[in-house]
Amino acid sequence: MSADALGKFVYVSSAAGVVGFPISENANTIGQLPSAVVKATLAPPVAILEGASGLVVYAVEPGPQVEGFTIGAGGVLTAQANSPYSLGASGTPTSVAASGGLLFVGMANGDILSVPINGDGTLKATPAPPAAGSPIIVTQPLNGVTNVSSLTADPTVHFLYAVDGTQNISAYTINSSTGALAAVSAIPFSAGAGSAPVSVVVASVNGTPTFVYTANQGTSNVSAFLISNNGALTPLFNSPFTVSGATTPVALAVDPSQNFLYVVGKQSNSVVSLVISGGALVSPSTASTGTAPSAVVAVPSANVQ
């Protein structure tokens, strides 16, 4: 699930393709999703992401490939002229993130693909296997990492973090010009034995990426880390945090103000909001959801949170 940067649409991946919902700004129905627009895709997307401009949607699919769409009136999606974009690699995509003019795709074999984004939102992707001169850069997994279950790139295009669903957190610095990733450490950081982190997010303070959080499905808690100047992670005091009301956390989102963290509890059918206070997570508030929720977004709007 993903929300556009302008807070007008929410898009959800489904077996039918990409389903878009306009967000109501009517004073009586603020935040509601009154209707749906379905855009069929070549294959069920494994991940979707809306571009920072609020004008494009990327659907990552087996192949691996990316279908790019422009957002029109009412949230209707139109395929970009060069879409779908072949990623020119083998394996199965699992996740997607973006920062600056770069799209990052996580793979089930642990690889991370960096794909440049043109100014008009199209991708610089070619069907040829990534090689010298290719616009796609492949970062091989760190020692001990066999999968990328979730990844996130901070908006300042400095760091990228990936979790593998066991206990590992891979940290990379981003070359904002080329998209190349350099490992902060040859050894992954750890969310703890048995933690099985399946979602990772970055929270900023005054525009600077400061904290990393992971949703630990295996231990039903959230780990919190301080980001050092070189991107390395240091566990915060009292981390991991128990999140009462969110059993089996599977997804995280930080609100646009960077003051709140939202945690989805799949088994408890809930979403918990927490105040980020110096990196610590305090003052939980729980809301019920439908059965087995799996994703969450915080919509950037003056009227909706």
Instruction: Give 10-residue mean pLDDT values along the chain (305 residues).
Output: 83 89 73 79 91 84 91 88 85 92 93 92 73 76 89 94 94 93 94 94 94 96 96 95 92 93 95 95 93 89 50
User: What distance in Å separates the CA atoms of residue 243 and residue 163, rounded to the nearest whole number?
Assistant: 20
Q: Closest Cα to residue 216, out of 237, 236, 186, 246?
A: 246
pTM (two decimals): 0.92
How high is the pLDDT of residue 126? 65
How high is the pLDDT of residue 132? 54
Pairing of strands 260-265, 189-190: unpaired
How high is the pLDDT of residue 130? 57
How high is the pLDDT of residue 301? 62
Contact (Cβ atoms closer than 8 angstroms) between residue 145 and residue 112: no
Q: If 0-12 CB within 10 Å is exposed, 13-18 middle and 19+ buried, where does residue 209 land?
A: buried
How high is the pLDDT of residue 277? 95
Sign of CA dihedral 228, 180, 81, 66: negative
Helix (H, G, I), strand (E, B) or coil at 56: strand
Contact (Cβ atoms closer than 8 angstroms) between residue 21 and residue 13: no
User: What distance in Å separates the CA atoms of residue 272 and residue 193, rounded to the nearest whole number?
Assistant: 24
- Domain 2-226, CATH: 2.130.10.10
Contacts of 132 (CB under 8 A, 6+ apart): none
Contacts of 182 (CB under 8 A, 6+ apart): 172, 173, 175
How high is the pLDDT of residue 25? 74
Q: Closest Cα to residue 202, out of 227, 177, 179, 222?
A: 227
Contact (Cβ atoms closer than 8 angstroms) between residue 179 and residue 102: yes
How high is the pLDDT of residue 28? 59
Question: Any bridge partners for residue 272, and if so which?
Answer: 263, 286
Question: Any bridge partners for residue 2, and if so which?
Answer: 11
Tokens coding 104: 């990052």
Tokens coding 209: 């990426």
CA-atom Rg of the chain in angstroms = 18
Length of the chain measured in residues:
305
User: What distance in Å separates the CA atoms of residue 256 and residue 261, rounded to the nearest whole number?
Assistant: 10
Domain ranges of the chain: 2-226
Contacts of 234 (CB under 8 A, 6+ apart): 225, 226, 228
